[in-house]
Structure 1
Amino acid sequence: MTLGKRLRERRERFGKTQMDAARELEISNVQLSRYESDDRKPEPEMLSRFAEYYRTTTDYLLGRTEDSTLASGDSALYAEFELFIRNPEHGVFFKDYLDAPEERKEEMRRFWEFIRDKERNRKPGDRQGE
C-alpha cells in the first residue's frame, strides 16, 4: 500500500473529510489531496505531523511496517487517560469509553488530550478556559 493510500485510509478511519483533515493539519485541501493521490510526497516534518494527527507511526505511513499502533510512550499516555476516566468524578463524562469501538476511543482520548493541554498552565483560582 502506498503512502497516499495509507494517509487516506487513516483519515477515513477517523471519519474525517479531506476538508476537515486539511483544516486541522493547517494545509490546503489541494495539498492533502496531492499527498493522498501520491502526486506529491510530504517533507519529513509534514510526515511527522500526519503520524501524530492520525495516531500512528511514520514507519506505518511509509510502509515499513504493517503495525499501525503507537509506540510504548503513547501507551503510557493512554494509561494515564484510562486512570483519569476510572475516577468516579470524571468517569461520568467518559462512561461509554471502556465499551466503545476503537475509533470512538481514539476520539475520546484526543478530546481529553486537548482539555489537558488547555488546562496545563491554569493556576488555582483561574476560571476554566482562561
Structure 2
Amino acid sequence: MPLGHRLRERREKLGKTQLDSAKDLGISNVQLSRYESGDRKPDPQMLSRFAEYYKTTADYLLGRTDDPTAGHPETGDADFHAAFEQFINNPEHGVFFKEYLAAPEARKEEMRRFWEFIREKEQGRKPGDRQGGA
C-alpha cells in the first residue's frame, strides 16, 4: 500500500477531514492532498509529523510494517504506559519525571518517547556494565 494511501487511511481512521488535518499539521489542504495522492513525498521531518499526528509510526507509513500501531507508545504497546508508570513511581527514577503526572498531554508524550529511547539503549545491559555500553 503506497504512502499516500496510508496517510489517507490513518486520517480517516481518526475521523479527521483533510482540511482539519492540514490545519493541525500547519500545511495547506492542497499540500496534504498532494501527499495523499502520491504527487508529493514528505521530507523526513514532515513524515515524523504525520506519524505523530496520526498516532502511528514512520515504518507503517513507509510500508515497512502492516501494523499501524506497532511500536507506537500511545497505541501499539498495551503494556507501555503501565511499564512507564511503574518506572516513574520508583523513587530513584521518579525525580527525573516528577512533573509527568501534572504535565499536559503533549509533554507527557515527549517524556514517554524519551523514556522509550533510554529503554531501547539500555536493553540487554547487565548490572555492572557501563551505561550506554554493551
TM-score (norm 2): 0.57
Mapped partners of 2:34, 2:4: distance in 1: 8
The answer for the alignment partner of 1:113 in structure 2 is 105
The SS at the match of 2:69 is coil
Aligned pair count reads 89
Q: What's the offset of the Cα at 1:78?
A: 3.8
Identity of aligned residues (%): 64
| CA deviation profile, 1:14-36 (whole Å, cap 9, x unmatched) | 00000000010011100000000
User: What is the aligned-residue RMSD (CA, Å)?
Assistant: 2.7
The runs of 5 or more residues in structure 1 that have no matched partner are 84-111, 118-130
The answer for the alignment partner of 1:40 in structure 2 is 40
Q: What's the offset of the Cα at 1:4?
A: 0.1
Whether the aligned pair in 2 keeps the contact of 1:18 and 1:29 (CA below 8 Å) is yes
Letter in 2 for 1:47: L
Mapped partners of 1:42, 1:10: distance in 2: 16
Mapped partners of 2:72, 2:33: distance in 1: 31
Q: What's the offset of the Cα at 1:77?
A: 6.1
Letter in 2 for 1:113: E
The runs of 5 or more residues in structure 2 that have no matched partner are 87-103, 110-134
Mapped partners of 1:49, 1:79: distance in 2: 25
The SS at the match of 1:30 is helix
TM-score (norm 1): 0.59
The answer for the alignment partner of 2:123 in structure 1 is none
Mapped partners of 1:14, 1:33: distance in 2: 17
Q: What's the offset of the Cα at 1:70?
A: 4.2
Structure 1 residues 77 and 24: CA distance shift in structure 2, 3 A: farther
Structure (1 or 2) with the greater helix fraction: 1
The SS at the match of 1:15 is coil
The answer for the alignment partner of 1:104 in structure 2 is none
Q: 1:79 aligns with which of 82, 89, 93?
A: 82
Q: What's the offset of the Cα at 1:69?
A: 1.1
Structure 1 residues 114 and 31: CA distance shift in structure 2, 3 A: same
Which structure has more relative contact order (CA 8 Å, sep 6+)? It is 1
